[in-house]
Amino acid sequence: MDKRELIQAAIDNLPNAYAPYSRFHVSAALLCGDGSVYTGVNIENAAYPATVCAERSAFFKAVNDGKREFEAIAICGGKAGVITDFCAPCGTCRQVMREFCEPEHFRILLAKSPDDYREMTLEQLLPFGFGPDNLL
């Protein structure tokens, strides 16, 4: 699975977003260490704080299946499901990534299309973060 394919998996999954309140649709495709891919969408709730982001949906599906090693995540989104700009992960999702990923290794792909994306590491998006090592 290359980067373009991972981005395409996120784009293909975007119609599954459940966002009747914000109407901002987000989708993510998470590449695991074993090559498997887990997708996720944002799932909103009438009680707004119960909403979960696309990135965490993907991580929680994968972790539920026993996955613990991750290589990269592709993220896309936009108003009414139309991608017009790069969609960056929120702070809570960055912290969930920090729990399971090596900050200097894990790649985050913010995509408008398979050919138009920005790539950064978790270290760049969450510098000097708090992680499992701090509790050893």
- Which residues are designated catalytic? 55
Strands (E), the chain: 24-32, 37-41, 70-79, 107-113, 116-121
Q: Give the tokens for residue 42.
A: 């944002």
Only one of the segments 30-38, 50-58, 95-103, 118-126 lies at the binding site for ligand THU (rule: CB under 6 A); that segment is 50-58
Footprint (CB under 6 A) of ligand THU, residues 12-31: 19, 22, 24, 26
Residue of 113, 100, 122, 117 whose CA lies nearest to 14: 113
Please report where in the chains the tokens 């973060």 appear, as a residue. Answer: 129
The answer to whether residue 37 forms part of the interface with ligand THU (CB under 6 A) is no
96 binds ligand THU per the rule CB under 6 A = no
Binding interface with ligand THU (CB under 6 A): 19, 22, 24, 26, 42, 44, 51, 53-55, 87, 89-90, 93
